[in-house]
Amino acid sequence: MSQNGMLRAVVYARCSTEESRQDVENQLRELRRYCEAYGWTFDEVSEYDSAFKGTQPKLQAVLERIRRKDYDVLLTFSLDRFSRQHPSKVNALLDQIVYQHGCRFLSLQEGLDSQNEMVWQVIKPLFAWFAHAFSRNLSQKIKLGIKTKKEKGVYRGGRPRKVVDPDRLKALLSTRNGCGWRTLAQRYNAGLPSPRQVSFSLLRKVVQQLQFASPHSVTGGVKITSTSD
């Protein structure tokens, strides 16, 4: 608890990829609203990583600060945003956060609150299992699909490589007017079929490779070439 007696909270949001269809801001908006309703001071942490096979380095940093008693409450939008690993591992980690480090845990979508002992002991394990089962089943379906394509001789490797259209990008940059990367990606993807849409991070990488001065500037006379993801 802070010196003025207010609870110190940290909100954690996660998406698997930086593709334009996924955005941690949707989660953060609800988490901010919850904290503000209770008058809590809070820090925001978000990252793009797999909760099934990824390392989630920013979450690990949050957990370290919880171990140091920097936070009283950890909030996430849903339990699968926190982790999709094996339920035994997730449940052990959550209990460690709550009982060993004295930090309250809240997951808004499931109404999961570590202060509700019945929900915590009975319902939490179910949601941890559902989160893991979804990713496990998805992984198995993908592997089966790859195997089937290989047997038919039509497998061409992983996801199609994303390619930036240099002329389209250059035209957008010339009229950017200081917009951010996500807005730029939305404008780039407008009217394009899904396979041709690209992430804001790929656009940013292309521009940075071309040595543009800053996210809100355009350097004229620069030759733009196609770059694949």
pLDDT tens for residues 33-63? 999 999 999 999 999 888 888 889 999 999 9
pLDDT in tens, 99-135: 999 999 999 999 999 999 999 999 999 999 988 887 6
Is the full-model pTM beyond 0.85? no
Residues 76, 104: Cα–Cα separation, whole Å:
11
221 pLDDT band (50/70/90 cuts)? very low
20 and 103 fall within a common domain: yes
How many domains does the chain divide into?
2
Given 113, 132, 151, the domain boundary residue is 132
Query: Contact 7/72 with Cβ under 8 angstroms?
Result: yes
Q: Are 217 and 116 contained in the same domain?
A: no
Quick one: CA dihedral 145, 147, 151, 153, positive or negative? positive
Between residues 143 and 75, the one the model is more confident about: 75
At 5 the pLDDT is 67
Q: At what angle do helices 200-209 and 166-174 cross, to 10 degrees?
A: 90
Residue 69 domain flag: yes
CA-CA-CA-CA torsion sign (93, 94, 95, 101): positive
168-181, pLDDT tens digit by residue? 888 888 776 777 88
| Strand 8-15 versus strand 73-76 pairing type | parallel
> Do residues 102 and 30 share a domain?
yes
Give rounded-to-5 percent helix, strand, coil for the chain: 50, 10, 40
Tell me, yes or no, whether 91 lies in a domain.
Answer: yes
